[in-house]
Chain A
Amino acid sequence: MIRKALPFAAALVLALLPLGTQSTYLHHVMVLWMLYALLALSLNVIIGYLGELSFGHAAFFGLGAYASAILTMQTGVPVWLALIAAGLVAGLFGFVIGYVSLRIVGPQFAILTLGFGSIIYTVTNYWDDLTRGPMGINNIPPVTVPGVGPLGEARDYYFVVVACVLAFAYACHALMRSRTGRAFLAVRENAPLAASLGIDVFRTKLLGFVAATVVAGIAGGLYAHYLRVITPELMSLQYMAALIIMVVVGGRGTVVGPILGALIYVVLLEVLRAFGPLRLIVFAALLTGSVIFVPHGLVSLWRPWRRRADPAIRPEPAP
């Protein structure tokens, strides 16, 4: 009973979080947390469910941000339409890139996505006419809700983003209880066995990859219309690494893990601000340490404890 109610309670707390404080600074941090959580959840589809490492995910985030910003500023389309377009643009790139690179898997795939991410980063930096180069784009219009007006306050914007996060988190949860989701895990766990059960490994991976890039694109759009300033640095190696840190440190292959990872990232970023460059060293140490000592992320710390009470679980077999 408690276990059934827990997710609902957590979702409710998350949804009403900004009501607990008057501080606009904290509201701002919360919005950032949710934006990163959405992004980390989408990357988790690739890393956690499909079992492939993608270093190009920040590029799709950036593509979405730029697509949405440019569309609203140059053509004047409403922001909600631009957000959908942002998802589509990122998904289109995701399809092409996935189609090319998913034929190879493992480390080669990871490096290829890194290469693609770098191309997009480079082009964004140099295509001045469209992207204004390294200067970035500013004065991006905010999200406007009909009848309410522009969402200028961080607290108001939080509700938009948290709705997206909760919807996508639920979608991921539902995915794992569907045939498609089982195919994702099968492909991750054992591709030849998956194929022997009728699962088209390549198409399954492509499907998951494209879905993840669509969501990353939407997250990028949401980011652009919130901060109202974007630069190509969104797609830099720093960001790519940060995303992977969130998913891995939080716990890949779970819904809670990436949200937790995003929280840790955002909070540490703020708390360590005083340390200057040292904070990046702390991050790196955090990544290295957690990968080596907690390979399945922070959420895995809580699980063995729960399982130990279960007599049906046998000790790990000797290798």
Chain B
Amino acid sequence: MTGAAPLPLIEAVDLTRAFGGLVAVNKVSLAVHTGEIVGLIGPNGAGKTTMFNMLAGSLAPSAGTIAFEGRDVTRAPAHERARLGIARTFQITSVFPMLTTRDNIRTATYRTRGAGWLASTFRTAAWRRDEAAIDAVADEVLAFCDLAAQADIRADALSYGEQRRLEVAIALAAAPRLLLLDEPAAGLNPEEGQRLVGIIRKVRDRGVTVLLVEHHMRVVMGVCDRIVVLDHGARIAEGTPQEVAGNADVVRVYLGREQAHA
């Protein structure tokens, strides 16, 4: 690392993960700087989900290190990373199904706000203040993610597209420094996908850095500042969307195949 470069928000060095004899991710290094939107792409089986899960803390790396704001978090469990300011979404839609949309978001403020049980039992001033602040956060995030109309509906009764937006809303309510999005556009129709792209762009304006794993090329090309391409567990390219789209290796392993499908 050069001395002049600012400290990356999150930096993975030589991250490796093997399942039995199979190496899913092989010595991949990756750095995301504050304010960026970085995409992690690759064909099926490239190791991007494994990479993502190691960054989020739901999978322990076999080797390599992960640092968040210069602090080593390689072995930190998911909830500790979350407390440092890393939020994530899940590949398979993951919300609190029996709670309303608003309560989903209120629950997500756990990291930053909320008086404990004793304060709520005695209805202290601090508790009332906190509840009001949580309501304000919920209102703001609901509006931000176009979910205000669905605020009082149980999450399991939302449409698929609404649930995916709720996931982003939950992550944002945690007031993260870094947001990890796991295939946020998976299963969305083009219109919903565009809506999501709009939200992700706005997320950056909130001062949240974004790293996303994605399959949909339109989403990735449309929203990312920088793209890292994985294939067979190794990093094969990195650059702006234009650079990556023009990279012969990338076209060969990924884009070519994708376009052949489409």
Contact = CB atoms under 8 A, between A and B. Distances in A.
B116 interface: yes
Nearest to A316: B157
Nearest to B83: A198
B114 A190 contact: no
Nearest to A167: B121
Nearest to A170: B121
A284 interface: no
A177 to B, nearest CB: 5
Contact of A197 (B115, B153, B170): B170
B133 to A, nearest CB: 12
Given A178-B127, A179-B114, A317-B157, A201 B79 contact: yes
- B83, B98, B123, B174 pick with most chain A CB within 10 angstroms: B98
B96 A185 contact: yes
A270 interface: no
Nearest to A182: B107
Given A183-B110, A185-B99, A193-B94, A178 B170 contact: no
B187 interface: no
Contacts of A193: 90, 94-96, 170
Interface in B133-163: 152-154, 156-159
Interface residues of A, number: 31
A177 B79 contact: no
A313 B94 contact: no
B177 interface: no
Contacts of B131: 177
User: For chain A, what secondary structure do more than half of its interface residues adopt (helix, strand, loop), or is it mixed?
Assistant: helix
B246 interface: no
A199 interface: yes
B96 A189 contact: yes
A133 B81 CA distance: 51
B73 to A, nearest CB: 13
B153 A174 contact: no
B17 interface: no
A170 to B, nearest CB: 7
Contacts of A177: 120, 131
A179 B115 contact: yes
Contacts of B110: 179, 182-183, 186, 197-199
A156 interface: no
Contact of B58 (A179, A192, A316, A317): A192
Interface in A201-224: 201
B78 interface: yes
Contacts of A183: 107, 110
Nearest to B108: A197
B232 interface: no
Contacts of A175: 117, 120-121
A128 interface: no
Contacts of B90: 192-193, 196
Contacts of B207: none
A190 B94 contact: yes
B47 to A, nearest CB: 20
B121 A312 contact: no
A197 B107 contact: yes
B121 to A, nearest CB: 4
B77 interface: yes
Interface in B230-244: none
B111 A313 contact: no
Contacts of A316: 156-157
Given A192-B58, A200-B79, A178 B94 contact: no
A4 interface: no
B78 A178 contact: no
B152 A312 contact: yes
Given A186-B96, A201-B79, A196 B152 contact: no
Contacts of A190: 94-97
Sort A-B residue pairs by CB-CB distance and give the 4 closest, nearest first: A179-B114, A178-B120, A198-B82, A189-B96
Interface of A: 170-171, 174-175, 177-183, 185-186, 189-190, 192-201, 312-317
7 contacts: A177-B120, A179-B110, A179-B115, A197-B174, A198-B111, A313-B153, A314-B157
Given A182-B114, A193-B90, A317-B158, 10 more contacts: A174-B117, A174-B120, A178-B116, A179-B115, A180-B117, A190-B97, A192-B58, A193-B170, A313-B157, A317-B159
